[in-house]
Amino acid sequence: MAKIGLKKLRHSYMPNPKSADDYALKEIDLDWSDGGAYALLGPSGCGKSTLLNIISGLVKPSEGQILFDGQDVTALPPDQRNIAQVFQFPVIYDTMTVYDNLAFPLRNRGVEESRIDARVREIATMLELDDMLKRRAAGLTPDAKQKISMGRGLVRDDVNVIMFDEPLTVIDPHLKWKLRSKLKELHHKVRATMIYVTHDQTEALTFADQVVVMDEGVIVQIGTPVDLFERPAHTFVGHFIGSPGMNVLPCEIRDGGAFVSGVHVPTENAGARATGKTEVGVRPEFVSITENGVPAQVVRVADTGRHMVVEADANGARVNFILNEGARIPEGEIALNFEPARTRIYADGWLVEGSDV
């Protein structure tokens, strides 16, 4: 097990990158502690898989360093980094039995048979694969195959980090949940550093102690699931996490306060230092109907069963908010109130630091 450090990491798939846009990863600095469960979350093409492949050694970064326990491994090939990786599609060796699949990484490293046997059986029990050890891996279901891929990473007790690249993509929805809790349980048992890449917020938030949200090759926010929900550092995070995502409305800054459609909106942070494009962000959970507030027009109401999601139009900006089941369904012109402690000013997308005076 190891702690992982990324120092001034940049990567471009082009031979001679010039502008920042040529980089798939734009300067990443990260420190991950030993034994933690981390998730890399972001939309397709945000660079999360590139980052993962750089850590595993499948891709060599254009610039920067990767440190395992303070040791520079940037130049090492994957097999010398002592890492394990589980891919999007289960990778199994078709011609081998489940047992041989699990033993494969150890046999390649010349571990003695008795030790291999003990290790394989231990991991098989952990993954609930013990009753199929003698079977050929080719005929198994996708979730069993994915368990074998995980097992091949877990059998080696010296792995520095186990990485998961959207491992639940091909798994049936009802098994996804099972496999995810299995993974969480495994992490508690083996205490290996684990990095989980996904574009699915539920997977990221349930698996990880700390989530790294990426967009366009940049780390937008690092935090616990609660941080990401309660205090998004960027409108992207607010929008990406939560369903429906955070509302973002253009605002005007006057006397340090935010005005939406001419109505003053009290916020948690002060807007004094806000420059550029200014917006207020508030989650649908913290918007309510009031007498005097931001004027809006109801567009549609969606009933999710547990609650209703009302979509309204406030002077051209979409505002979603939540109404409890059984509440009166609003129609036409309404006025909206944003809970001041949960409403924040963003400048050029980024959260403006400093609280209201």
Partner 1 sequence: MSAKTQNERAWWFVLPVVLLVAFNALVPLMTVVNYSVQESFSQGVWFWSGVDWFEQTLHSERFHAALGRQLLFTTIILLIEVPLGIAIALSMPKTGPWVPVCLVLMALPLLIPWNVVGAMWNIFALPDIGLLGYTVNALGIDYDYTQNALAAWITVIAMDVWHWTSLVVLLAYAGLVSIPDAYYQAAKIDGAGKWAVFRHIQLPKMNRVLTIAILLRFMDSFMIYTEPFVLTGGGPGNSTTFLSIDLVKKALGEFDLGPAAAMSLIYFLITLLVSWLFYTIMTRQEEEG
Instruction: By CB under 8 A, name the binding residues for partner 1.
Output: 56, 58, 77-79, 83-85, 87-89, 91, 93-96, 104-105, 108-109, 136, 138, 149, 152
Q: How far is the CB of 115 from partner 1 (least distance, A)?
A: 16
Residue nearer to partner 1 on the CB measure, 148 or 345: 148
Three-state DSSP state, 7: strand
Residue nearer to partner 1 on the CB measure, 59 or 287: 59
CA 47-48-49 angle, to 5 degrees, is: 95
Provide the CB-side half-sphere exposure for 240 (13 A, CA): 27
Q: Is the separation of the CB atoms in 280 and 265 below 8 Å?
A: yes
Distance CA 313, CA 335 (A): 11
**71 alpha-carbon distance from chain centroid:** 26
Residue nearer to partner 1 on the CB measure, 73 or 251: 73
In the chain, what is the greatest distance between 2 CA atoms, to the nearest angstrom? 76
Classify residue 108 by its DSSP letter.
H
Residue nearer to partner 1 on the CB measure, 104 or 346: 104
H helix and E strand count, the chain? 8, 22
Distance CA 119, CA 113 (A): 10
Residue nearer to partner 1 on the CB measure, 96 or 309: 96
Q: How far is the CB of 281 from partner 1 (least distance, A)?
A: 38
Pairing of β 294-303 and β 247-250: unpaired
Q: How far is the CB of 159 from partner 1 (least distance, A)?
A: 10
Residue nearer to partner 1 on the CB measure, 93 or 286: 93
Residue nearer to partner 1 on the CB measure, 80 or 243: 80
Q: How far is the CB of 49 from partner 1 (least distance, A)?
A: 11
Question: Rg (Cα) of the chain, in Å, rounded?
Answer: 24
CA 164-165-170 angle, to 5 degrees, is: 105
Q: Which run of H or E residues covers position 114?
A: helix 113-126
Q: Is the separation of the CB atoms in 210 and 225 below 8 Å?
A: no
Q: How far is the CB of 16 from partner 1 (least distance, A)?
A: 19
Residue nearer to partner 1 on the CB measure, 36 or 105: 105
Distance CA 34, CA 345 (A): 35
Q: How far is the CB of 218 from partner 1 (least distance, A)?
A: 25
Q: How far is the CB of 119 from partner 1 (least distance, A)?
A: 14
Q: How far is the CB of 79 from partner 1 (least distance, A)?
A: 4
